[in-house]
């Protein structure tokens, strides 16, 4: 199928999410001359700045195992509300928002679930992040939480000023989220999760997604406000997981026509594998070919124009595609090529076809 | 003390030299592999290579030739898997490759298990696994189950959205040594703590070791909620299970 010339891929920028990590050994984490360890970034004026990793974070297991939860650090620092630390946290978040918008994000997804296990603290953080990002964003927000009360706080705090907000997400196990959608006049992501479990194949995805879509339509939500997420599972776990998602996209597009939106957290597909960006980008292409017109993605690394213009004839693309379509059991060929250094995509020269 | 050159099998020698970095692990591996028969080294090598056909064939041949089932399990399969675990932990190999090794392990265990149970030898351990109430995520939990079964554990899978009572009933019914709980959401993670409390209230807490895992779970949370252990991935889950069982043996 693919995108028509006049239809646009809707990018839901996923980067403001408290689970996100950078590697301590990676290039972005530097030791400063005063001994502070900090995450390097460019602010909105392209000036290099440093988000200092607080002592408290260094006690956590994530940090000790080499993962720096930079979004959590920025939110916690900024929310503390005082001094240069708070200022730096705020600048960091602004920079993240701007970079995603500049890269073409149509929504900024906000998820603060991992800020705390306490629902009250999650809700306070949601309220704060919505106010903060809304005041600097030129695109609408996508309010994302696994807790319905946190979603509610997010929607109550947000406005449809920059365009209508997106709720992420409703499903058969969480039908009451659809009432929030009506109440706040938002758009909504509906997932293919079942009432009692995750879908095991494409048929269950289609059945669950159809049922939640019918529920949404019955509540008076218009079809163009619905984004279906068929649920993307890692190809490292089962060679058929890619097809489960892609087949469901094809059937759902056929069933609901062009008005409905079909999206997905496509980067899940590469969990447990190296060269994740290549895998993600190839999967986005396959999903678009199947009928998806949106993605919950990192717009900075997977800038959609570049993703859709990727060289589909290249060997790395073909290897990833074969793996994603289920014909590379245990990802053997893909990993062999990875080890031989054969997965590097040639940089496309501007102006060249 | 044995040297690397005392390990007869070339494939295993190379694996140790290429992938093992910690001195104590190198020493342990050399000790293990220098003492086991060449047939067992071959089984371990095929397992590390994720080659289930060869593991199947070599296990069958070894049994026909009169090798003890326990020896094949310990010296061939488990010894091989220990190298796989280290390679995964150090990011030399990836999830699908670990799964291929687990499949190879399973191919060997298919011969070993009936023999062990017929001769009255208990399985390595019995584990009840489930995702907690309100949570439908099961991919990580299923990986753990595959790895545990590969390592010779009997696993009863309670699937997702498991209530406290369902966990308690299953641990009772199967007389499980271990309970593993999984959660992927911060909103459902507290249900692990609630389940542990339900075990205390039912006066069953001392009868089972409880381990927890899932993306938002950390050692700190595990300690706070009173779990016996935390594993960050499927390979750690197996190591943790073995460790908790060993602790259990010491206590009784």
pLDDT of residue A7: 64
A236-280 pLDDT, tens per residue?
A: 999 999 999 999 999 999 999 999 999 999 999 999 999 999 999
**In this structure, what CATH number is given to the domain that contains residue A274?**
3.20.20.20
Residue A6 lies in a domain: no
Q: Quick check: A335 and B189 CB within 8 A?
A: no
pLDDT of residue A351: 40
Residue A190 lies in a domain: yes
Band of pLDDT at residue A353, cut at 50, 70 and 90: very low
Which tokens hold the place of B1?
Answer: 């003390």
> What residue numbers bound the domain in which A328 lies?
164-353
> Radius of gyration over alpha carbons of chain A, in Å?
20
A92-117 pLDDT, tens per residue?
A: 999 999 999 999 999 999 999 999 88
Nearest-angstrom CA–CA distance, A287 and A253: 11
Residue A154 lies in a domain: no
Count up the domains in chain A and report the number.
Answer: 1
The angle subtended at Cα B103 by Cα B174 and Cα B110, nearest 5°, is 60
**Is A60 in the B-facing interface, judged by CB distances under 8 Å?**
yes
CA atoms within 13 A on the CB side of A306: 18
CA atoms within 13 A on the CB side of A182: 12
Q: Is the pLDDT score of A350 beyond 50?
A: no
Comparing alpha-carbon positions, the chain B residue that sits nearest to A270 is B95
- Chain B residues near residue A237 by CB distance under 8 angstroms: 95-96, 99, 139, 142-143
Count CB-CB contacts under 10 A for residue B143: 23
Q: Is the pLDDT score of A339 beyond 60?
A: yes
A294-306 pLDDT, tens per residue?
A: 999 999 999 999 9
Cβ pair A51, A77 in contact under 8 A: yes
Residue A122 lies in a domain: no
Of the residues B51, B166, B186, the best mutation for testing chain A's interface (the one with the most A CB atoms within 10 Å of its CB) is B186
The values of phi and psi at residue A266, to 5°, are -65, -25
**Is B50 in the A-facing interface, judged by CB distances under 8 Å?**
yes
A197-237 pLDDT, tens per residue?
A: 899 999 999 999 999 999 999 999 999 999 999 999 999 99
Residue A57 lies in a domain: no
Residue A214 lies in a domain: yes
The closest of A2, A97, A93 to A49, measured between CA atoms, is: A93
Nearest-angstrom CA–CA distance, A35 and A38: 9
What percent of chain A lies above the pLDDT cut of 90?
A: 88
Q: Quick check: B187 and A113 CB within 8 A?
A: yes
**Is B65 in the A-facing interface, judged by CB distances under 8 Å?**
no
Provide mean pLDDT across the span A39-63: 92
Cβ pair A107, A142 in contact under 8 A: yes
- Chain A residues near residue B193 by CB distance under 8 angstroms: none
Option in B94, B159, B161 nearest A273 (CB): B94
Residue A339 lies in a domain: yes
- Would the pTM count as exceeding 0.90? yes
pLDDT of residue A352: 38
Comparing alpha-carbon positions, the chain A residue that sits nearest to B146 is A237
Nearest-angstrom CA–CA distance, B14 and B37: 18
Cβ pair A197, A222 in contact under 8 A: no
Q: Quick check: B161 and A116 CB within 8 A?
A: no
Q: Report helix, strand and coil shares of chain B as percent, to nearest 5.
A: 60, 10, 30
pLDDT of residue B251: 61
Residue A210 lies in a domain: yes
**Is B138 in the A-facing interface, judged by CB distances under 8 Å?**
yes
Q: Quick check: A236 and B50 CB within 8 A?
A: no
Bridge-based pairing of strands B178-182 and B126-131 is parallel
Q: Quick check: A237 and B95 CB within 8 A?
A: yes
Please give the mean pLDDT across all residues of chain A. Answer: 93
């Amino acid at each position: 199928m693919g995108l028509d010339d006049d239809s646009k891929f809707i990018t839901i920028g996923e980067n403001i999410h408290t689970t996100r990590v950078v590697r301590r050994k990676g290039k972005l984490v530097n030791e400063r001359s005063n001994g502070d360890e900090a995450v390097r970034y460019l602010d909105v004026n392209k000036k290099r700045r440093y988000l200092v990793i607080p002592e408290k974070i260094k006690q956590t297991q994530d940090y000790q195992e080499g993962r720096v939860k930079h979004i959590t650090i920025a939110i916690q620092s900024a929310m503390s509300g005082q001094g240069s630390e708070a200022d730096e946290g705020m600048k960091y978040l602004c920079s993240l928002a701007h970079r995603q918008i500049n890269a073409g994000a149509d929504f900024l997804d906000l998820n603060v679930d991992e800020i705390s296990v306490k629902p009250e603290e999650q809700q306070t953080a949601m309220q704060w992040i919505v106010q903060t990002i809304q005041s600097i964003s030129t695109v609408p927000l996508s309010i994302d939480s696994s807790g319905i009360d946190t979603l509610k706080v997010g929607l109550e705090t947000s406005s449809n000023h920059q365009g209508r907000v997106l709720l992420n997400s409703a499903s058969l196990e969480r039908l009451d989220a659809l009432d929030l959608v009506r109440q706040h006049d938002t758009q909504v992501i509906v997932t293919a999760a079942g009432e009692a479990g995750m879908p095991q194949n494409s048929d269950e995805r289609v059945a669950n997604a159809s049922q939640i879509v019918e529920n949404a339509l019955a509540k008076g939500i218009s079809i163009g406000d619905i984004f279906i997420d068929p649920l993307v599972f890692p190809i490292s776990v089962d060679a058929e997981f890619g097809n489960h998602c892609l087949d469901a996209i094809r059937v759902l597009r056929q069933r609901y026509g062009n008005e409905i939106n079909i999206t997905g957290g496509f980067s899940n597909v590469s969990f447990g594998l190296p060269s994740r960006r290549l895998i993600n980008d190839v999967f986005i292409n396959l999903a678009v070919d199947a009928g998806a017109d949106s993605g919950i993605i990192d717009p900075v690394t997977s800038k959609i124009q570049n993703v859709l213009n990727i060289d589909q004839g290249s060997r790395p693309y073909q290897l990833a595609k074969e793996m994603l379509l289920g014909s590379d059991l245990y990802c053997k060929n893909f990993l062999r090529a990875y080890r031989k250094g054969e997965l590097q995509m040639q940089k496309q020269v501007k102006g060249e076809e | 003390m044995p040297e690397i050159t005392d390990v007869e099998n070339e494939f295993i020698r190379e694996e140790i030299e290429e992938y093992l970095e910690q001195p104590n692990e190198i020493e342990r591996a050399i000790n293990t592999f220098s003492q086991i028969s060449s047939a067992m080294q071959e089984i371990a090598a095929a397992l590390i290579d994720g080659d289930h056909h060869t593991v199947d064939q070599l296990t069958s041949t070894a049994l026909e030739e009169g090798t003890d089932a326990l020896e094949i399990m310990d010296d061939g399969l488990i010894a091989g898997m220990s190298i796989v675990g280290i390679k995964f932990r150090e990011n030399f190999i990836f999830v699908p490759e670990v799964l291929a090794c687990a499949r190879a392990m399973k191919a060997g265990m298919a011969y070993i298990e009936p023999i062990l149970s017929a001769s009255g030898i208990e399985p390595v351990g019995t584990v009840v696994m489930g995702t907690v109430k309100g949570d439908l995520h099961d991919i990580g939990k299923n990986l753990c189950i595959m790895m545990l079964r590969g390592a010779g554990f009997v696993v009863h899978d309670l699937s997702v959205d498991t209530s406290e009572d369902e966990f308690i009933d299953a641990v009772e019914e199967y007389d499980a040594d271990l309970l593993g709980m999984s959660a992927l959401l911060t909103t459902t993670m507290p249900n692990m703590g609630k389940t542990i409390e339900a075990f205390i209230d039912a006066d069953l807490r001392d009868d089972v070791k409880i381990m927890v895992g899932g993306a938002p779970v950390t050692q700190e949370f595990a300690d706070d909620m009173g779990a016996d252990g935390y594993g960050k991935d499927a390979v750690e889950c197996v190591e943790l299970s073995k460790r908790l069982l060993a602790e259990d043996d010491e206590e009784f």
